[in-house]
Chain A
Amino acid sequence: MLVRLTGDPALAEDLAQETFVKAFRNLAAFDSKRRLSSWLFRIAHNTGIDALRRSRPPTIDLDAGDAADEPAAPGVADPVERRALGRALQAALARLRPDQRTVVVLRYESGLSFEEIAQVLGIPESTARSHVHRARKELARMMTAAGWKPE
């Protein structure tokens, strides 16, 4: 999640370490009725957002998902095309707003339910659903605009 949020693997590792240190220090405050992963994601999210506020916005490789470099109307059955589609999806993901990027990663990369996403972000479940829906639609729009149309 932190890699996607910051766009910088080295910084993300530092933030992940910071997350674990914070979690270790506050372990006594952990409510055992909640899921440990949700609690850790919440700390990680807060740490990542703080880091984004402190630093400049992450640089995004716009070429990675650009229509000029990718074949239009691809047949994604090809492994090469599949890798290209993966890169294009990641590039589109990097261009989303940080809050949208976070919900997509939590939902589709970390496999959290909407209820868990709501807990992590401290928002109602319906809002979490709405954020995921909007982020996915925005991704679809970006992918289509980049020339990734279904066969």
Chain B
Amino acid sequence: MREDLSLNYRRWLDADQPGADLDADRAGDDRAGLIEDEADAAFAALYEACVSAPLPSAEFTSGTMAAIATATAADARRTKVVRKALIWSGIPAGLALAYFGAGPLFSVLSSAFVAGLNLLVAVVVWFANGPDARSSLWTVMTGIGRAAAAFVADPRVTIAIVVFQVVAVAALVALHRLLGPEREWQK
């Protein structure tokens, strides 16, 4: 075994000595691979025989379990607090949104309904008149475009879209907070 140690040390240094790479490259890929394998195996055997892996202290396992328990309890407390905060702020916010948002929402929906109805009437009239009315597909597209632009340009609609986006972002943030901590290990 002791002789093996000495032999492995020599094998490793011979394989990893300066210039061994160049000699191996000149000799070809196979030779370079063999030398690399030789150095890897010799160093692995030497390392195993000479270097002992450091052992953790006797308290490591109990300390780790305690740290995990503490972290779990802290996570649970944090989740509880966040959930309470979301519920107690979410209910009034939802009520306020329903109270103040219902009017504009119905207004926007009725505008959309009227615009859709107008569009439908225009399409029906176009089909009823047929080719005699000299209206083309382009005329219909223009009509649709104008109707859509008028709908979107309405300030109430713009405000409603912004409000919906804010509510959606707030809901996403709340969900993210509820679903757990960031995955730090994926850095």
Residues of A within 8 A of B (CB): 3-4, 9, 12-13, 16-18, 20-26, 28-29, 39, 42-43, 46, 75-79, 82-83, 85-86, 89-90, 93, 107-109, 132-133, 136-137, 139-141, 143-144, 148-151
B13 & A150 in contact (Cβ 8 Å cutoff): yes
Q: Which of B4-12, B148-156, B158-166 contacts A (4 or more CB under 8 A)?
A: B4-12
> When chains A and B are docked, how far (Å) is the Cα of A149 from the Cα of B10?
8
> Of B9, B44, B54, B181, which one neighbours A76 at CB under 8 angstroms?
B9
- Kindly report which residue of chain B lies nearest to residue A40, judged by CB atoms: B185
> When chains A and B are docked, how far (Å) is the Cα of A137 from the Cα of B181?
42
Q: Within 8 Å CB of B185, what residues of A?
A: 22-23, 26, 29, 39, 42-43, 46
Residues of B within 8 A of A (CB): 2-3, 5-6, 9-10, 12-14, 16-18, 36, 39-40, 43-44, 46-54, 56-57, 60, 63-64, 67-68, 71-72, 75, 180-181, 183-187
> When chains A and B are docked, how far (Å) is the Cα of A86 from the Cα of B9?
11
Whole-angstrom distance between the Cβ of B9 and the nearest chain A Cβ: 6
Whole-angstrom distance between the Cβ of B134 and the nearest chain A Cβ: 64
Q: Within 8 Å CB of A85, what residues of B?
A: 5, 9, 50
Q: Within 8 Å CB of B18, what residues of A?
A: 137, 141
> Of A25, A42, A150, which one neighbours B75 at CB under 8 angstroms?
A25
Q: List 21 A-B contacts (CB under 8 A).
A: A3-B54, A9-B57, A13-B60, A16-B64, A20-B64, A22-B185, A23-B185, A26-B181, A28-B180, A76-B9, A77-B5, A77-B6, A82-B5, A86-B51, A90-B51, A108-B43, A108-B44, A108-B51, A133-B39, A137-B18, A148-B9
A109 & B12 in contact (Cβ 8 Å cutoff): no
B2 & A144 in contact (Cβ 8 Å cutoff): no
> When chains A and B are docked, how far (Å) is the Cα of A29 from the Cα of B68?
17
B5 & A143 in contact (Cβ 8 Å cutoff): no
B60 & A16 in contact (Cβ 8 Å cutoff): yes
> When chains A and B are docked, how far (Å) is the Cα of A13 from the Cα of B12?
32
A140 & B75 in contact (Cβ 8 Å cutoff): no
> When chains A and B are docked, how far (Å) is the Cα of A109 from the Cα of B54?
10
For the complex with contacts A26-B185, A85-B5, A108-B44, 6 further pairs of A-B residues with Cβ separation under 8 Å are A16-B60, A18-B67, A46-B187, A79-B2, A144-B13, A151-B6
Interface of A is mostly: helix
Q: A16-B64, A140-B13, A140-B16 are in contact. Are A22 and B5 (CB under 8 A)?
A: no
Ranked 10 nearest A-B pairs via Cβ: A86-B50, A150-B10, A77-B2, A140-B16, A108-B47, A43-B185, A3-B54, A21-B71, A17-B67, A17-B64
Whole-angstrom distance between the Cβ of B172 and the nearest chain A Cβ: 19
- Kindly report which residue of chain B lies nearest to residue A109, judged by CB atoms: B53
A13 & B43 in contact (Cβ 8 Å cutoff): no
Whole-angstrom distance between the Cβ of A5 and the nearest chain B Cβ: 11
